[in-house]
Amino acid sequence: MDYLTVFDIGVSGMNLQMARLESMAANLANTNSTSADASSVYRPLDVVGVSGTNFESLLNGSASSDELAVRYQVVESNVGPRMVLDPSHPHANADGLVAYPDINPVSEMMKLMTATRAYEANAQVVNAAKSMASVAMDIGRGR
């Protein structure tokens, strides 16, 4: 495995965490959005990592950086809306219930902290590879 492969893998991890951050930002921004129709209320987003690694190629050392890089999908949650009794709300239905997205801000903030730490860890991997490559280049120059 060369340095460019490590860079590709580290950057793909950073991209995954950035996508998670974007989905959490959208979820938090829409926490209090409502709809007159419960079926059209905002549905929380989640980012799911998808492995593309063939384990056998990983073991024999022939896995490419594309196979080792993290892939992800942004998916909508399949949970129903949170119904709140508020008969005076303009989006209240005939029973006085308002449909809100089922988003827990505390949970989103915990996921935000986890994504931040994972992003930092991937950045450290890239920096470590950069440092190692720099040392190797210095050795090649006779320093």
Q: What is the mean pLDDT of residues 71-94?
A: 94
Residue 77 is classified by DSSP as -
Is 47:71 a contact under the CB 8 Å cutoff? no
> Which uninterrupted H or E stretch holds 84?
strand 82-85
pLDDT of residue 27: 97
Which DSSP string do the residues of 28-45 spell out, in sequence order? HHTTT--BSSGGGS---E
Cα(121)–Cα(127) distance, integer angstroms: 10
Q: Say which amino acid occupies 76.
A: E
What contacts 16, CB < 8 A, 6 or more positions away? Answer: 47, 49, 70, 72, 118
Q: What mean pLDDT is predicted for residues 77-83?
A: 92
The 10s digit of each residue's pLDDT in 90-121 is 999 999 999 999 999 999 999 999 999 999 99
Instruction: Using the predicted structure, report yes or no on whether residue 12 has a pLDDT greater than 80.
Output: yes
52 confidence band (pLDDT: 50, 70, 90)? low
Q: Give the count of alpha carbons within 13 A of 71, CB side only.
A: 8
Q: Average pLDDT in the 61-81 region?
A: 81
Give the DSSP H/E element, type plus range, for residue 90: none
If residue 73 lies in a helix (H) or strand (E), which one and from where to where?
strand 71-76
